[in-house]
């Protein structure tokens, strides 16, 4: 079974809106939580990552929020742009990466 | 700036045929991985090699074998292909097996087994 549960499976947002993707885990040994972005026909690429001793990390329009007690973390894409249309994977590692099922984000112009 | 190179990009096999997917990285990474990607399933680890000379099973190793030929190359072999192995296969590499500096992925091999 997947060790990292991701939702929603897909979402559509208007240009300028906020996209929110949620992930949950059970394994308390996980200590590094990256997000990967994948465009059609390409391999995933590291977007942003967080460690559990930090509650929030922001890089440009992308923010990870982390709730250690709830074992949940989320990706917020602010001011979503058509170029952000992609599939996003959350992941977690103890000694190797486990990926969520992915969220396909479509940004309408 | 090649990064991780996978060959072939596309392949169609008949049930029972065998083939080897090739992967090479030029970043002097120690660890290499093979994942398969299926709709709604995300990326599932097939095999990994934490360092040259070692290989270990991931979540879905059945029907596959791997060889870490040297530090640069990590191949995935399907001995007797089955339709359930129709998928997109990604090779990745990282500096360390924990991947805390990120994984670098290849562009994938789209395999269809008929």
Nearest neighbour of A99 by CB, restricted to B4, B43, B108: B43
CB neighbourhood size of B49 (10 A): 21
Give the count of Cβ contacts less than 8 A between chain A and B. Answer: 60
What stretches of A15-99 adopt beta strand conformation (E)? 19-25, 33-38, 45-50, 56-59, 62-67, 72-77, 86-93, 97-99
A54–B contact, CB cutoff 8 A: no
DSSP string, A84-101: G-EEEEEEEESSSEEE--
Q: What is the pLDDT of residue A97?
A: 87
B58–A contact, CB cutoff 8 A: yes
Nearest neighbour of B97 by CB, restricted to A32, A45, A96: A96
Q: What is the pLDDT of residue A101?
A: 94
Verify whether the Cβ–Cβ distance A43 to B98 is below 8 Å. no
Nearest neighbour of B106 by CB, restricted to A43, A98, A101: A43
pLDDT in tens, chain B (114 residues): 679 999 999 999 999 999 999 999 999 999 999 999 998 888 999 999 999 999 999 999 999 999 999 999 999 999 999 999 999 999 999 998 777 888 999 999 999 999
Verify whether the Cβ–Cβ distance A46 to B43 is below 8 Å. no
Question: Which parts of chain A sit beneath pLDDT 70?
Answer: 1
B97–A contact, CB cutoff 8 A: yes
Distance (Å) from the alpha carbon of B114 to chain A's nearest alpha carbon: 22
Query: Nearest to residue A36, comparing CAs of B35, B48, B52?
Result: B35
Output the six-digit token pair for A23.
Answer: 């992930």
Q: What is the pLDDT of residue A95?
A: 77
Instruction: Report the distance separating Cα A106 and Cα A91, nearest Å.
Output: 21
Q: What is the pLDDT of residue B83?
A: 97
């Amino acid at each position: 079974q997947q060790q990292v549960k991701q939702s929603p499976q897909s979402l559509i947002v208007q240009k300028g809106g906020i996209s929110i993707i949620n992930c949950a885990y059970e394994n308390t040994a996980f200590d590094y939580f990256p997000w990967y972005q994948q465009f059609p026909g390409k391999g995933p690429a590291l977007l942003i990552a967080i460690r559990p001793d930090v509650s929030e990390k922001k890089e440009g329009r992308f923010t990870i929020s982390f709730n250690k007690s709830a074992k949940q973390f989320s990706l917020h894409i602010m001011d979503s742009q058509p170029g952000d249309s992609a599939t996003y994977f959350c992941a977690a590692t103890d000694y190797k990466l486990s990926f969520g099922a992915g969220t396909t984000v479509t940004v309408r112009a | 700036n090649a990064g991780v190179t996978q060959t072939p990009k596309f392949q169609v096999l008949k049930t029972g045929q065998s083939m080897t997917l090739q992967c090479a990285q030029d970043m002097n990474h120690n660890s290499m991985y093979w994942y398969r990607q299926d709709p709604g399933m995300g990326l599932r680890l097939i095999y990994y090699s934490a360092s040259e000379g070692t290989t270990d099973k991931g979540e879905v190793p059945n029907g596959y074998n791997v060889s870490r030929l040297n530090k640069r190359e990590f191949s995935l072999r399907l001995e007797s292909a089955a339709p359930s192995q129709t998928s997109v296969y990604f090779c990745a590499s990282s500096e360390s097996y924990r991947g805390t500096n990120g994984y670098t992925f290849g562009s994938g091999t789209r395999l269809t087994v008929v």
